[in-house]
Chains A and B, each alone.
Chain A
């Protein structure tokens, strides 16, 4: 079968989108889980500070999430724009 240039680019973009989002999800997943664990540890030590600790946890996780969102954006660009 004859494979054309446009088709190869589309194929690479689809495979690349999968790899981008797949590998990109590993870091934030582990990192956010680690933050969650440390927040639980801190609340276990000082339950009265639970509100402040939960807020700090969520802010920290949001920053860690950003790399996952970069992967999502790149994957969506590869799927629909390129």
Chain B
């Protein structure tokens, strides 16, 4: 029988754990595979530097792995922590937490693989720069992990906040929407940030004297790529903290669920697009240092236009939450 609240809460918790680690394992595995593939290629070009290359590969893979470890932590908490089951809202929140962390780990895992692999190739190309390349890789992939960290924050808040005072309808939809919003929006930002970081490692190896400008451009480009994830986080926070008046009508629930879906999917494209722009800008700063100013300006204009669709998605979500 599915009639009692405790059983349904357990059901949601176990289903959420499965979704969380199942989706969460995708990204890190892909990213680490990319790093390892390029490391092999790098060793085939410079066999005598294989020690440095393997060390760099393992450090890069360890960072890509953190996204999957976040997902594992949330899944284990969902499996083994006994949640108070005084309201069906807890079931919605636990499932939402699983969705959020599962989707949220994909982009960061894939993205962190790019700087790892390009840094390995860079060490084969410019062995003297191996220390600088590893440092730049670490900075770049750390920024890639922020969307996964946002997802973990929202996941843990959904798990441990007390929602029992809120009305079941329509808050259940707000909690699932909060998970979907941050989780999906994190995919694009993680992937895009990784593209920019990969190009910077390649650029530094090609043109060691461009180190400072390349790292700066990478960080600016990555910061813009992160904004869709921040929009997703903002919509999640509104959905979690706003108190909605009780309403048994289906339309008020669907408006809140729709708001989460809208911002979540809406953040994917601009995040990836901003990353592609930043990737090319960083790549060409390294090749043509004199054009750094032009390139940074063009990158920011291009990213701003690409960002506009994420802003449309945010406007529609806010209308769904506050107006209709």
Q: Given that A14-B255, A47-B294, A65-B309 are contacting pairs, would A30 and B273 also be in contact in the complex, using a CB cutoff of 8 Å?
A: yes
What CA separation (Å) do A66 and B248 show in the bound complex? Answer: 38
- CB neighbours (8 Å) of B309 from chain A are 24-25, 28-29, 32, 65, 68
B82 at interface, CB cutoff 8 A: no
What CA separation (Å) do A7 and B188 show in the bound complex? Answer: 34
Q: Which of B26-34, B48-56, B146-154, B275-283 makes up part of the contact surface?
A: B275-283
Number of A-B contacts (CB under 8 A): 207
Q: Are A37 and B250 in contact (CB under 8 A)?
A: no
Report the interface size class on chain A.
Answer: 35 or more
Report the interface size class on chain B.
Answer: 35 or more
What CA separation (Å) do A19 and B257 show in the bound complex? Answer: 10
What CA separation (Å) do A33 and B310 show in the bound complex? Answer: 12
Q: Mark A5-19, 1 if CB is under 8 A from B, else 0.
A: 001101111111111
- CB neighbours (8 Å) of B312 from chain A are 21, 25, 68-69, 71-72
From A11, A29, A38, B269 is in contact (CB under 8 Å) with A29
What CA separation (Å) do A38 and B298 show in the bound complex? Answer: 10
- CB neighbours (8 Å) of A57 from chain B are 298, 301-302
From B188, B275, B280, B308, A68 is in contact (CB under 8 Å) with B308
Chain A nearest Cβ from B304, distance in angstroms = 9
From B273, B283, B285, A32 is in contact (CB under 8 Å) with B273
Q: Are B305 and A17 in contact (CB under 8 A)?
A: no
B41 at interface, CB cutoff 8 A: no
Residues of A near any B CB (own CB < 8 A) = 1, 3, 7-8, 10-19, 21-41, 43-45, 47, 50, 53-54, 57-58, 61-62, 65, 68-69, 71-72, 75-76, 79-80
Instruction: Identify 15 residue pairs between A and B in the complex whose beta-carbon atoms are under 8 Å apart, listed by A's number.
Output: A17-B320, A18-B257, A29-B309, A32-B305, A33-B269, A34-B277, A36-B277, A36-B298, A37-B280, A40-B298, A41-B280, A44-B287, A44-B291, A47-B291, A54-B301
